[in-house]
Amino acid sequence: MRLAIFDLDNTLLGGDSDHAWGEFLCRIGAVDEAAYQAANDRFYQQYQQGTLDINEFLAFALHPLSQHSMEQLELWHRQFMQECIEPLMLPAAKDLIARHRDQGDLPMIITATNAFVTRPIATRLGIEVLLATEPELHKGQYTGRLQGTPCFQEGKVTRLQQWLQETGHSLTGSYFYSDSRNDLPLLEQVDHPVAVNPDETLASIARERNWPILDLRQS
């Protein structure tokens, strides 16, 4: 079975769920708005520039999860899905997933955004296999720390290789769809790399290497 691997933010979604979650926390008053918004924007800019320190960012992004009960977080996430994620859903992305599934491929998402934020989004997209950055849990409460390898840049390759060993799947004939220069390590591992609404750096590399470039934000 071929793998159809998708990045999530700015690929299957018409925006970034990690950044949007930070904005949502600011809007509902769950964090100090001025300080958190400034840091959230700064980290997002670093991500776009390919200069993000993932451990510094995760210390920032996972901390709010440790400050509230799971019940409260899940309540907020349902509101977040309705108000912030639904407007980012792309019909063309859903059609692409469906085409791969109709061809007998296995769709999966691999994302740097943490699993608390992204698992309900993957479920909404009908994708069961999710590899995401995992926040540590202890006795049903998030600790604010990372569990395992961050699913970011080369870490995506590491996490995927671990999953392949555990499941017996292979990358033969595989596809990977992404918008970001940060995903170049994994794009170079698959048989069919595809740039989706790519950033300037990835677009340039895709043109040089004759990789397909897709627009999933078309009306």
pLDDT for residue 218: 83
Query: What number is the average pLDDT over the span 114-142?
Result: 97
Query: What number is the average pLDDT over the span 60-79?
Result: 97
Tokens of 195: 């740039």
The per-residue pLDDT of the chain, averaged, comes to 97
Eight-state DSSP code of residue 37: H
Domain boundaries along the sequence of the chain: 3-214
The alpha carbon of residue 79 and the mean position of all alpha carbons in its chain are separated, in whole angstroms, by 19
CA distance 190 to 171: 6
CATH 3.40.50.1000 fits 3-214, yes or no: yes
Residue 145 scores a pLDDT above 90:
yes
Portion of the chain with pLDDT greater than 90, in percent: 99
Residue 95 scores a pLDDT above 70:
yes
- pLDDT band at residue 219 using 50, 70 and 90 as cut-offs: low
Give 152 or 218, the one with higher predicted confidence.
Answer: 152
* Helix ranges, 81-153 (H): 91-102, 115-124
Q: Catalytic residue at 7?
A: yes
Residue with tokens 């407007």: 87
pLDDT for residue 97: 98
Choose, from 7, 16, 18, 183, the residue flagged as catalytic: 7
Choose, from 9, 16, 179, 183, the residue flagged as catalytic: 9
Query: What number is the average pLDDT over the span 31-53?
Result: 94
Q: Torsion-angle region of residue 122: left (phi > 0), alpha (psi -120 to 50) or beta?
A: alpha
Could you tell me if 135 and 147 are in contact, meaning their C-beta atoms sit under 8 angstroms apart? yes
Portion of the chain with pLDDT greater than 70, in percent: 100
Q: How many residues does the chain have?
A: 219
pLDDT for residue 144: 96
Residue with tokens 């794009």: 187
- pLDDT band at residue 35 using 50, 70 and 90 as cut-offs: very high
pLDDT in tens, 152-198: 999 999 999 999 999 999 999 999 999 999 999 999 999 999 999 99
